[in-house]
Amino acid sequence: MSYRDVPKIELHLHIEGAAPPGFIRGLAQEKSVNLTGVFDEAGHYTYRTFNEFLSVYEAATEVLKSPRDYARLTTAVLEECAANGVVYAETFISPDFCGGGDLAAWREYLHAMQEAAEAAERAMGITLRGIVTCVRHFGPDKAKASARCAAETAGNWITGFGMGGDEMMGHQGDFAYAFDMAREAGLRLTTHAGEWGGPASMREAIRDLRVERIGHGVQAISDASLIDELIEKNIVLEVCPGSNVALGVVPSFAAHPIAKLREAGVRVTISTDDPPFFHTTMTREYDELERAFGWGEEDFAALNRIALDAAFCDDDTRARIA
């Protein structure tokens, strides 16, 4: 078997960020929404900096206005995932974009997405779980509203709570109330940290939000005692190498710290983050890592075992995927 054929587990995927450009353009046309500045001449998402990326991301969500739009998005995203050999994925979903924090509206969005995911599971054999996500630069009050939505809909399909957005805004601890609420509802926790922020941001995430996974976490490479802490506390990193290269967090796949973190004993996994924004897919991530580090079938199988073990799903689901 080639490394390319290893069934893939993806833990870090933003649903809007995974929207194929053609899908967003199609909705924009249907709804006569002007998306100037979102796409370049070749039809790819376009931005120069991380903050521009966040703005373009939010501009693209302007066409996603109803539960039905999100159901169609879920189908489109899962088709891409399945085409790249993904058998289990977790996706970040933000109440901010799905009803603006209103609980009744959120339930409708969720119901539509879950139905689409179940249909995709029947048709393509891919399993999806949702991680409700607050957006850091929208502030702690919006995060509380998102956590309330998460807590009220926690269950079989919504299994986690997380935070994305601009890591340089405020502190992880500013969002402790939201994370406490989610934890009390039985949700598993992750947050973006150590993408743009340094080791201190990761330490705050562990101490103040008590997360068991960290999105990115690549800045740990500069801090040996933080690496020890990650190992000791069994914290899993959702590493997104192609995202880091595309956004300039690291200069190249060859210079990416994922191999050194793994060699040091940190539990790392591989995801795409926002694949069309970063011109990537899970297939490309594996190809680039094979090229950069010589990883083969056994390496990717081992990384996927870590990912499945760290997945925010119940044990029956885990056993079925394994």
- Cβ contacts of residue 165 below 8 Å, gap of 6+? 54, 134, 135, 136, 137, 138, 192
The token duo for 317 is: 């689901």
Q: What angle do CA 293, 272, 14 make, to 5 degrees?
A: 160
Q: Select the residue interacting with ligand ADE from 130, 164, 194, 242 (CB under 6 A).
A: 164
Residue 130 C-beta: closest distance to ligand ADE, Å = 15
Contact of residue 288 among Zn ion, ligand ADE, none (CB under 5-8 Å per partner type): none
Residue 303 C-beta: closest distance to ligand ADE, Å = 20
Contact of residue 17 among Zn ion, ligand ADE, none (CB under 5-8 Å per partner type): ligand ADE
Given 16, 195, 238, 285, the catalytic residue: 195
Cβ proximity to Zn ion: between 273 and 288 the closer is: 273
Cβ proximity to ligand ADE: between 6 and 149 the closer is: 149
Cβ proximity to Zn ion: between 167 and 273 the closer is: 273
Cβ proximity to ligand ADE: between 192 and 262 the closer is: 192
Binding to ligand ADE by residue 165, rule CB under 6 A? Answer: yes
Concerning whether 195 is annotated as a catalytic residue, the answer is: yes
Residue 278 C-beta: closest distance to ligand ADE, Å = 9
Binding to ligand ADE by residue 17, rule CB under 6 A? Answer: yes
Contact of residue 162 among Zn ion, ligand ADE, none (CB under 5-8 Å per partner type): none
For 45-52, which contacts have Cβ atoms below 8 Å and span 24 or more sequence positions?
45/21, 45/276, 45/277, 47/277, 50/166, 50/196, 50/247, 50/248, 51/166
Contact of residue 285 among ligand ADE, Zn ion, none (CB under 5-8 Å per partner type): none
First to last CA, the chain: 17
Binding to ligand ADE by residue 243, rule CB under 6 A? Answer: yes
User: Exposed, middle or buried by CB within 10 Å (0-12, 13-18, 19+), for 172?
Assistant: buried
Cβ proximity to ligand ADE: between 95 and 165 the closer is: 165
Nearest to 272 by CA among 77, 62, 64, 140: 77
What's the chain's length in residues?
Answer: 322
Please give the Cα distance from 156 to 158 (Å, whole number): 6
Number of residues that bind Zn ion (CB under 5 A): 1
Q: Select the residue interacting with Zn ion from 273, 285, 290, 299 (CB under 5 A).
A: 273
Residue 94 C-beta: closest distance to Zn ion, Å = 11
The token duo for 167 is: 């890591």
Please give the Cα distance from 204 to 200 (Å, whole number): 6
Binding to ligand ADE by residue 90, rule CB under 6 A? Answer: no
- Please report the DSSP string for 90-107 in residue order: EEEE-TTTTTTT-HHHHH
8 A C-beta contact, residue 99 and residue 106 = yes
The token duo for 169 is: 């805004």
Q: Select the residue interacting with ligand ADE from 72, 183, 188, 192 (CB under 6 A).
A: 192
Binding to ligand ADE by residue 274, rule CB under 6 A? Answer: yes
Look at residue 184 and give its three-state secondary structure.
Answer: helix
Q: Which residues bind ligand ADE (CB under 6 A)?
A: 14, 17, 57, 164-165, 192, 195, 243, 273-274
Task: Please give the positions annotated as active site.
Answer: 195
Q: Which residues bind Zn ion (CB under 5 A)?
A: 273
